[in-house]
Amino acid sequence: MKISQKIITNLKSGGADFFLSVPCKLLANMITILENDKDIYYSAIPREEEGMGICAGAYLGNKLPCIMMQNTGIGNSVNSIVSLLQLYQMPVVFLISYRGTPGEPVGAQGGMASVTEDILNTLRIPMLHCNTEQDLDKISTFTNHAKVIENPVAVLCNFNLMKDD
């Protein structure tokens, strides 16, 4: 719970005030924290791509949105990231549980893991890698960075960082 709380605290101090999630076991504690947080908007949603649309609308209404998802969700969302968020220059923080990184027990997650960073690089999305608890301190500045550059950014939380939280 300590890691999850630190992530949420840093996202909020960076300005994020509108949260969506598509579930992942590694995000479960964060979801519980958000469900009980009265200061921000939070909802679960069925699919990441629609989440990009909801985030776009929330941004138009002056929110700084964060969508929490597995890295598989990036694959579900490529067109909406390019043709909506980047086309209109809309800041959104992608908080990604990076499945398929070392420690991952499910072999099938390795496929999307092996292409996730290539996709994000191709989309020119700035990445923050979180491998240790100290890395989490950078999330606040990185969240604000999305607002400054008016574009999406991605925070990637590795499996081993999250697994025992």
Give the one residue of 24, 58, 69, 113 binding another protein; rule: CB under 8 A: 58
Residues 6 or more apart whose CB falls under 8 angstroms from that of 14 comprise: 64, 93, 139, 140, 141, 142, 143, 144
Give the one residue of 1, 2, 35, 88 binding another protein; rule: CB under 8 A: 88
12 binds another protein (CB under 8 A): no
Give the one residue of 10, 14, 65, 96 binding another protein; rule: CB under 8 A: 65
The CA distance from 131 to 155, in Å, is 11
* DSSP H or E run through 113: helix 110-122
To the nearest whole angstrom, how small is the minimum distance from the Cβ of residue 142 to another protein? Answer: 22
As to burial, measured by CB atoms within 10 angstroms (0-12 exposed, 13-18 middle, 19+ buried), residue 127 is middle
To the nearest whole angstrom, how small is the minimum distance from the Cβ of residue 58 to another protein? Answer: 4
Residues interacting with another protein, by CB under 8 A?
A: 18, 41, 43, 45-47, 49-63, 65, 79-80, 82-84, 87-90
